[in-house]
Chains A and B, each alone.
Chain A
Amino acid sequence: MSLALIEVRATGKKFCRSLKRSLWYGLRDLAGEALGRRGDRSTLRRHEFWALRNVSFDLYQGETLGLIGPNGAGKTTLLRILHGLITPDEGSVTVRGRMQALIALGAGFSPVLTGRENIYVNASILGIPRKQVDRRFEEIVTFAGIPDFIDSPVQSYSSGMTVRLGFAVAAHLEPDILLVDEVLAVGDEGFQIKCLNKIGELKANGTAIILVSHNMHTVSTFCDRVLVQSAKEHELFTNVAEGVRAYKQLVHPSMDGHIEKLCSGTPGIEFVKVDISHTELELGGDFHLRLYYRATTSYDDVEIDTVLLVARETSFHYQATNRTFDKRVDLPAGEGWLDITVHDLRALHADGRFAVAVWGRDRSEILFWWRIPVRFTTALRCTGTNLYHTTFLTHLSSSAEASGPAGEGSGGHVVSR
């Protein structure tokens, strides 16, 4: 039975909302600490709140734990306690082995010094021995991709170059435990791939990793478990996909479950009833609405706008009107109904809203406008917002049957390497 590299037991940390008070408490804590008496740290003083409470987990060699949660959920606080920067107010944290952090890239860089000088300063702060830097100096410069600038002051670098140089140094960390906090968010894609490769390499070498990220793709790729944190509680998931889903619920809480009835009729037409087929939507399923109306005059050539908003997407997941499909719709006077069906839904893993609006001719008047909360209930191991049917085939080109490039099943273009 191997020992955990990190043991977190019922750990909590409180912070203070008021600056003056925070500094005053700081002075009191300082005096208490200096006298060896900190008193009871688990009660809240005025203006204090728990930024983190009752967190427990173990982390073993070669394991990667993702810390995910909305902003202000205490992820960075937890990371800082683990790193030994601040002490917990409750519980305990045990760390075994050499811990290093991929947190502040380019820490200690002085803008007026050259890249060369800063490499040594930065490596020293990260705890990389000078000999190792000497040995790998060329490698670092090449990795950073700045050989022409290595003797120029860092203030003449672009921000991307500075980050790359910082990472090139940090890439030589060889810790037992690595903490990663959102560094991947900076830099271009090529750089991000380098970062991810480094993490993958360390993971393969048995380094235990704690990864804080808002990128669920990264989390799903690397993590074996995730700790989903919110301001109030936290939950440990051994199934990463489930954890990711829980995170999405936190970040985009269900929009109160109520239908927003922005407009249900005009003096000329009244929508008396709406049948909604179901609000729990499934991949590949349909969404159906029936709008019962009572009109005193006829409304010809109306425009029906249908929009699907998925909570985590910034633009429409889907938007189209009857005009998109070259379909003219008339609502003759009298009582009747209008059927709307959206086929073959492809949204995943999130809450959303289905908005339906009915406009009079030329959008002169809005007749109906509802926004209906819906929920997608898919439990697949994927993290995108869409799912497309994808096939996977392998072919052996050296086998007897496949004698030439015209072999069957090799549709698409051939990429040689």
Chain B
Amino acid sequence: MRPGSAQNLPTVTYTPASQLLSPVSLITSMLADLLASRELAWRLAVRDISAQYRQSMLGVFWAFVPPLLSGLLFIVLHQRNVVNIPDTGMPYPLFVLVGTTLWQVFAEAVSAPLRVVTGAGAILAKINFPREALILSALYQTLFGFLIKAVLLGGVLLYFGTPLRPKSLLALVTIFFLIWLGLAIGVALTPVGMLIADVSQLITLGLQLGFFLTPVVYPAPEAFPYSLLATWNPVSPYLLSSRTLLVHGTAAYLTPMVAVSVCLLGGTVLVWLLYRVSMPIIIERISA
């Protein structure tokens, strides 16, 4: 303990006023907490992942099931001509399996923040640790989920004899943005989701709907107004580009992708601020 004065100790003041009224100290503390939360985030991610796998018999099998199942369903429907899908520029099974796997990665990113933060409710209410750690942990867990699914992706690509091109590695960047977008949406929904249980239902519903509103199992429509699904749906540019990069080594929808990325950067800051300032309010309500 430093003897003597307390002048040079870090000082924090809590008042009823909104934290947004003192933006400098808010942003400074956000960045400091982000740095401070790295180890904790890692620990939490390792904890959750090992707990999940240690209590499961089938383990990673569950990471493959959802994309495989919905993929196979559409492959069968397509083969039997139940659904009429235009040319996809690649074998349809390859198109669908890559699409559903990428969608699953996105879907997990959307639901991760609320799941992780809700799971930490008890310690949130009792201990003051950097709240950013939970989001970072959600990121790590989603990335881990992607790593497992990458095995599935690799298997599918190999099976269809897709040559590995150096440019295909760029898909890692677009997939990272896909995950980032999912997390940002998830974090935006977390504050309200912590207060009212309806939000997690809405997320499930929204993801089911989103699956059909995004060109996952069908190619991007070109006729207006359906073409908006590819250009104005923020998920589409990342998902479509990731798929064509993996298979053909070429990106698609570059302009929308840049536009979405710029919005995503700004949106991330807003969502982070919201998450940050909402924490005391949520804790007050969930643990009164």
Contacts and interface: CB of A to CB of B under 8 A. Distances in A.
B278 A34 contact: yes
B47 A121 contact: yes
A92 B15 CA distance: 5
Contacts of A27: 192, 195-196
Nearest to B1: A206
B272 to A, nearest CB: 12
B126 A103 contact: yes
B70 to A, nearest CB: 30
A355 interface: no
A394 B207 CA distance: 79
A41 B16 CA distance: 7
Interface in B10-33: 10-21
Given A112-B51, A176-B1, A30 B12 contact: no
Contacts, number: 168
Contacts of A250: none
B15 A87 contact: yes
Contacts of B5: 2-3
B18 A117 contact: no
Interface string A99-136: 10101100110101100011011001111011000000
A108 B123 contact: yes
B80 to A, nearest CB: 44
B128 interface: yes
Contacts of B20: 33-36
B17 A38 contact: yes
A15 B288 contact: yes
Interface stretch (A78-86, A252-260, A270-278, A316-324): A78-86
Contact of A103 (B44, B127, B282): B127
Given A85-B283, A96-B9, A104 B122 contact: yes
Contact of A120 (B10, B14, B16, B43): B43
B222 interface: no
A126 B285 CA distance: 23
Contact of A30 (B4, B124, B281): B281
B6 A85 contact: no
Contacts of B10: 96-98
A16 interface: yes
Given A16-B288, A92-B13, A176-B9, A205 B18 contact: no
Interface in B237-286: 274, 277-278, 280-285
A130 B39 contact: yes
A95 interface: yes
Nearest to A85: B283
A162 interface: no
Interface of A: 2-5, 15-16, 22-23, 25-27, 29-30, 32-38, 41-42, 61, 80-81, 83-99, 101, 103-104, 107-108, 110, 112-113, 117-118, 120-121, 124-127, 129-130, 176, 205-207
Given A35-B20, A93-B13, A97-B10, 10 more contacts: A22-B285, A27-B195, A33-B18, A33-B277, A83-B127, A93-B15, A98-B9, A108-B47, A118-B47, A129-B39
